[in-house]
Structure 1
C-alpha cells in the first residue's frame, strides 16, 4: 500500500453512511413539513396569515446562521459540531411533534434551523477532510450529491405517507431516529484529522453582520411572496441586506481571522460553482412547488400518490450522481459535466412547459422528471466538489457552508420569484377568458386552466434560469484536472488554492 493510501482514514466509508444519513434528514425536512402544514394548521388553530411562519422560522434561522455554523465547525471541530447539531435537531423535532400551540411549533422550527445550520456545513466539510483521494472523493461526493438532490422529493413522499396514514406530528418525530443513528455512528466511527482544525478566534463582527444580512435577504424574499415586491417592509429588508452584507465584505477584508475569508468566494471556480448551484436551486424549488400543486390541486392526486409521482426524479438523481457523475468526474473537467447536466435538466423543464389540464403523467411528467433528475444529479455532484476544492482544511467548514447558503438563498428566491410570476400569469389568463363563462363547471375548469397557465409561464422562466446556470458553469469554471494521487483538500497555499504551473487552482475531484 502506498504511503498516500496508508494515510487515509480506515473508517471513512463507514463515516460516509452516517454523514449521508444526517444530510438526508436535513434536506428531507425542507419539504416534509410543507405536506403536513394544512393538518397542523387545523389542529393547532393557526390562522392563514400566520401559517407561513412554520416555513419562514426555519428558513430564517437556517439561512441566517449557516456561515456561523460553518465557521464554528472549523473552530470547534467538525465532528463535535456535527454531533451537537444532530442532537439539537432531534430535540427541536421532539418539541415540534409535541407542540400544543402555534408558538411551540414556531419555536421548534426556528431551533431546527439553528441546529441544522450547525450540522449541514459540518457534514459536507467532514467529507472534504476525510476523503482526500481524488477517485474516492468522487464516489463520496456522488453519494452526497444524490442525497442532496433527491432529498426534497423523498420529503414529499415521506410527508404524504406520514400525514395520510399516521399524523402530521410524525413529520417531526421521524427526525429523531435519523438523528440518533447518525449521531451514534459519528461518535463511533468519525475521526477528524487534527490538522484540519482551525485555531483562530471567532470573528464576532462578521458573525453579526453576516447573520443579520442573510436573515434580511431570506425574509425579504419570503415577504415578497406573501405580500408584494414593492411593499415597504419588503423593500426595507432588501436594502438592509445589501447594506449589512456590504459591510460584512468590508469587515472580512480587514480582520485578521475573518468568518468568511474572501479568497473562498472570489476564486473563479468556487464562485462559479456557488452561482451555478444557486441558480439551479432557484429553478428547482419553484418547480417542486408547481408540480406538487399540479398533481394535487389539478390532477387530484393524494399526498402519497403525489410523493410516489416524484420517484422518477429521485431515480434520475441517484443515477446521474452516482453512475454518470462519479464515473466521469475523474476523466473530464467538471464544467463538461455541469453544463451538459444543467442542459439535460433544462430539457425536462421544456417538456413541462407543455402541461395542460389533461396532460399524461407517462407522456410528459414522468419523462420530464427523469431528465430533470439525470441532469441535476450529473451536475450537482461535480458542482459540490468544485465548491469545496482547493481550500485549506481549516476553511473547509465555511466553504461548505457557502454551498448551503447558495442553496438556501436560491430556494428563497425561487419560491418568491416564480410564485409571483405564476400568480400574475394566472390572474391575467383568468381576466382575459372570464367573459361568457357562466356555469359553475365551466368556471371551475377556467380556474384550473388559469392555474396551469400560471405554472407553465413560471416554468419557462425556470427553464431560462437553468440554461443560464449551464452558461455560468461553462464560462466561469475552468478547472483543468488533477493527475495522480491524492488531492488533499488542504494542499493549498496561503490563499487556500494549490498552484499549477499555469497558475490555475488544482481541483480535488477531476482528472
Structure 2
C-alpha cells in the first residue's frame, strides 16, 4: 500500500514539469501588452519572447529525454526544474528586450530537459496497463489545466501592481512552485536505472537549433520591420512579399 501511495505521489511531483512549461506559454500570450510597455520592446522583439521559449524547448526536447536515460531521470528532472526556476527569475529581472529573449531561450531549454522525464517516469512507475492509462490521463488533464491557469494568471498578474511591476510577477510565480517541487523531488522521487551506453547527437542539435533560428528570426524581424534592417535575405524577401 505504501508503494502505491509513493508511486502516485511521485507522479504528482513530476507533473509539475508539464504544468509549469505549459503555463509559461499561455501566461505570456496574455501578458504581452504589459511586458511590451514595461521593457519598451518592439512587436518583433515581443514575438521573439514567445518564439525563443519554443525554440529552446523544441530543439533540445529529444536531447532532454536522452539525458534522462544517461544520467538518471530524477537527476535530470531536478536540475532541469532548478534551471527553469532560475531562468524564470532572470526573466522577471530583465531590463531590456534582449535580456528577456535570452532568458526565455534558457527557460525553454531547461523545460526541454525536465518535461520528458515526466513521461519516462510514467513508463517506469506504472507497469500495469490500467494504472498507466490513468497516469497518462492525469498528464493530459495537467496540460489542459495549465493552459487555463496560464491565461487566468497572465491577465490577473499583469494588472497587479505590488512592490514590483505586475508583468514581472508573471515570471516570479514560478519561484515558489519550483522550490516546493525541488524539495519534494529530492525527498520523495526515486532515481531510475541509468543507460550510459546512449550517445548524444551534438552535431544534430547544433544544426537543428541554427536551422530553426535562421528560419524564425528573419521571418519575425522581416514582418515587424518598418525600415530595412539586418534580418537577412529571407526576412527581406518575406517583408517585400507582404507589402
Change (3 A) 1:175 1:70: same
RMSD in angstroms over aligned alpha carbons?
2.8
Per the alignment, residue 182 of structure 1 pairs with 181
Match of 1:115 among 103, 110, 118: 110
Match of 1:15 among 10, 14, 21: 10
Deviation, 1:219, is 5.6
Deviation, 1:171, is 0.6
Structure number with the bigger relative contact order (C-alpha 8 A, sep ≥ 6) is 2
Report if the CA contact (8 A) 1:25-1:175 is conserved: yes
Runs of 4+ in 1 over 3 A off after TM superposition: 221-228
Deviation, 1:103, is 2.5
Residue 137 (1) aligns with residue 132 (2): yes
Change (3 A) 1:172 1:35: same
Change (3 A) 1:107 1:226: closer
Match of 1:202 among 199, 204, 207: 199
Residues 28-43 of structure 1 mapped to structure 2, 5 A cutoff:
28-43=23-38
Unaligned residue ranges in structure 2 (runs of 5+): 224-231
Deviation, 1:105, is 1.2
Change (3 A) 1:157 1:10: closer
Deviation, 1:83, is 0.5
CA deviation vs aligned residue, 1:450-489 (integer Å, no higher than 9, x gap): xxxxxxxxxxxxxxxxxxxxxxxxxxxxxxxxxxxxxxxx
Per the alignment, residue 20 of structure 2 pairs with 25
Residues 305-384 of structure 1 mapped to structure 2, 5 A cutoff:
none
Report if the CA contact (8 A) 2:49-2:101 is conserved: yes
Per the alignment, residue 170 of structure 2 pairs with 171
Report if the CA contact (8 A) 1:93-1:112 is conserved: yes
Which TM-score applies when normalising by structure 1?
A: 0.41
Change (3 A) 1:153 1:208: farther
Change (3 A) 1:99 1:226: closer
Change (3 A) 1:216 1:234: farther
| Aligned-partner Cα distance in 2 for 1:235–1:147 | 41
CA deviation vs aligned residue, 1:307-344 (integer Å, no higher than 9, x gap): xxxxxxxxxxxxxxxxxxxxxxxxxxxxxxxxxxxxxx
Change (3 A) 1:235 1:67: farther
**Bigger radius of gyration among the two:** 1
| Aligned-partner Cα distance in 2 for 1:193–1:235 | 50
Where 1:11 maps in the other structure, the secondary structure is: helix
Residue 193 (1) aligns with residue 188 (2): no
| Aligned-partner Cα distance in 2 for 1:133–1:219 | 45
Which TM-score applies when normalising by structure 2?
A: 0.83
**Larger relative helix fraction:** 2
| Aligned-partner Cα distance in 2 for 1:222–1:145 | 31
Deviation, 1:207, is 2.8
| Aligned-partner Cα distance in 2 for 1:51–1:14 | 38
| Aligned-partner Cα distance in 1 for 2:16–2:22 | 10
Residues 397-412 of structure 1 mapped to structure 2, 5 A cutoff:
none
Per the alignment, residue 355 of structure 1 pairs with none
Report if the CA contact (8 A) 1:16-1:127 is conserved: yes
Report if the CA contact (8 A) 2:89-2:171 is conserved: yes
Change (3 A) 1:120 1:219: farther
CA deviation vs aligned residue, 1:253-308 (integer Å, no higher than 9, x gap): xxxxxxxxxxxxxxxxxxxxxxxxxxxxxxxxxxxxxxxxxxxxxxxxxxxxxxxx
Deviation, 1:107, is 2.0
Deviation, 1:55, is 1.3
| Aligned-partner Cα distance in 1 for 2:218–2:49 | 14
| Aligned-partner Cα distance in 1 for 2:184–2:102 | 28
Report if the CA contact (8 A) 1:126-1:192 is conserved: no
Deviation, 1:12, is 0.9
Match of 1:65 among 36, 40, 60: 60
